[in-house]
Amino acid sequence: MRSDDSANSAQVRAMALWVIVSAGLLYGVVNTFAKVVDLFGG
Amino acid sequence: MGMSVLDRERTIAPRGYNRWLIPPAALAVHLSIGQVYAFSVFKAPLVEHFGTKLTPIGLIFSIAIVMLGLSAAVCGTWVERSGPRKAMFVAACCWSAGFAVGALGVATTQLWLVYLGYGVIGGIGLGIGYISPVSTLIKWFPDRPGLATGLAIMGFGGGALIASPLSDALLSTYATNPADAIAPAFLTLGAIYLVMMMLGAFTVRLPPDGWRPVGWSPERTAERHLVTRGNVTAANAIRTPQFWLLWTVLFCNVTAGIGILEQAAPMIQDHFATVSAAAAAGFVGLLSLCNMSGRLVWSATSDVIGRKPMYMCYLGIGAVLYFLLATAGTASVALFVLLTGIILSFYGGGFSTVPAYLKDLFGTIQVGAIHGRLLTAWSAAGIAGPLIVNGLADAQSAAGKSGADLYTVSLLVMVGVLVVGFIANLLIRPVADRFLEPVEDERFRREEPARRAPRRTATAERS
């Protein structure tokens, strides 16, 4: 079986990507919640 | 051989590879292409920049969505054959090139270039990017395909949540007038998405041949009604009634969801005079959150209760909720928000559960290609939904109605649309054996599951 790079570096990259996509989602959710506050409290 | 690193064979994971390292690759792609749902942020600046009306600007989004469906349908078989990395690479190139060509169109005030860039080239990136990680995830998570596809397709909903404030920030950073900041904002977004999608492309891995999660065997899940153990090619799938029934199900679910999405902000303000413009924007944000979370939660739930019952909920309970909205929507803001929130979570769930439904019906060998063909239902609903909703709203307005009365007829029409989808879902039965591909290993045939005891295979891997 061939792979383009070592399993280790691929796993590290994948874990870093988990962090990046989670941070992105958090940014979106927090910004959206800021608007939602206007609906009930604003 | 420069492209060899993109080849399918170079994407195979070593044995023991943790399958939970695959979803972020899919999410990176879907979060990027999900920007298309936040395109409305650019509408007003584009109208001002080109000195035109909303309709020609709205056409940019429509072209992109139509190209999404068409490219997913046409390229599905190629995506399946080439593997996820090459497909994601091409999707990344198209999506970011779409922004670059679009930026050129804006800078030179050539609207046709924006149509070509964001609409056509970007739209092709959308279609290929949307389907590229789906079959890979299904192969890694045969025991929980709903959860896996829900994770990825949740990203498509989440992409708009990220792109909306990000685009606002870019437009206000590059110029005092947002109309002058569109081109650099497009270029920046294109660059960010290129990096994200490339990271996804070079992270994605296919499982080795014969890989299965520990303790899982196809025999066990196939005991559930509707789950085939055979495989159907994309060419054969479109000859089955099941494909077209599911096409109808998706078309109805999307059309009904668009009924709310299209006019969410004016709708709540017409129902309740006390709701301000800022609060209406908050309502749209809340619906986006429901849309996104429904994609994960309901799709994962379908792994437990089954795909057909899940769609009975989306369409059956959905119809009841629409009816309540039409008849009792004005009772209170909280009830209105609750009803529309659940409806939008069903709308999102309908998108993310469909690949798992296809896997149940048609097997895994060409599920990505079949999914691509099914997405034409989305394109069709994207055209039909707004036509129905806007047409009915205009007719009601012309008849002198106002406030909540403007929406009663269109909401009741959506009840009818959902009932049609509900019946189509009820009619779905297991695919006939004549459509199944011949297999050497008869363990994979549906007709014999009960006689064979579940067993672990020698190729099972730690998951």
CATH of the domain at B94: 1.20.1250.20
Is B162 in the A-facing interface, judged by CB distances under 8 Å?
A: yes
Is B211 or B1 the better-scoring residue by pLDDT?
A: B211
How confident is the model at residue B443, as a pLDDT? 45
Q: Among B207-221, B294-308, B443-457, name the most confident range.
A: B294-308
> Shortest Cα distance from A23 to chain B (angstroms)?
10
Share of chain B above pLDDT 70, in %: 92
CA distance B143 to B146: 9
**Residue B455 maps to a domain:** no
pLDDT of residue B406: 81
The model's pTM is 0.86
* B172 shares a domain with B260: no
Contact status, residue B339 vs residue B381, Cβ threshold 8 Å: no
Let me know: does B417 contact B256? Beta carbons within 8 Å: yes
Of B66-70, B245-249, B293-297, B403-407, give the lowest mean pLDDT range. Answer: B403-407
Query: How many domains does one find in chain A?
Result: 1
Q: What is the pLDDT of residues B151-187, one digit of tens each?
A: 989 999 889 889 988 998 999 999 999 999 999 999 9
Best of B140, B203, B335 to substitute, by most chain A Cβ atoms within 10 angstroms, is: B203
| Rounded Cα gap, residues B435 and B432, in angstroms | 6
Of B14, B24, B285, the CB nearest to A21: B24
Nearby residues of B276 by Cβ (< 8 Å), 6 or more positions away = A38, A42
Least trusted range by pLDDT, from A4-18, B82-96, B440-454: B440-454
How many domains does chain B contain in total?
A: 2
A17 contacts in B (CB within 8 Å)?
24-25, 27-28, 199-200, 203
Please judge whether A28 and B165 are an interchain contact, meaning their C-beta atoms are less than 8 angstroms apart.
yes
Please check whether residues B50 and B198 belong to one and the same domain.
Answer: yes
Shared domain for B143 and B287, answered yes or no, is no
User: Is residue B284 within a helix (H) or strand (E), and if so which, with residue range?
Assistant: helix B277-305
- On chain A, the residues whose CB falls within 8 A of the CB of B27 are 17, 21
Contact B205 A10 (CB under 8 A): yes
pLDDT in tens, B272-325: 888 888 888 888 888 889 999 999 999 999 999 999 999 999 999 999 999 999
Q: Do residues B233 and B372 both lie within one domain?
A: yes
- In this structure, the answer to whether residues B222 and B177 fall within a common structural domain is no
Domain that holds residue B43: 18-207
Share the mean pLDDT of chain B.
Answer: 87
For residue B122, being part of any structural domain is answered with yes
**Do B189 and B58 share a domain, yes or no?**
yes
Q: Same domain for B188 and B319?
A: no
Same-domain status, B235 and B154: no
Q: What angle do CA B204, B134, B225 make, to 5 degrees?
A: 135
The minimal CB distance from A21 to the residues B28, B161, B205 is found for B28
Digit-coded pLDDT (tens) for B363-401? 988 898 999 999 999 888 888 887 787 788 778 888 888
Looking at residue B221, its pLDDT comes to 64
Q: For the packed helices B43-50 and B54-82, what is the interaxial angle rounded to 10 degrees? A: 120
Whether residue B179 is found in the same domain as residue B70: yes
Same-domain check for residues B37 and B118:
yes
Say yes or no: B100 and B158 in one domain: yes
* Buried residues in B366-381 as b, exposed as e (16+ CB within 10 A): bbbbbbbbbbbbbbbb
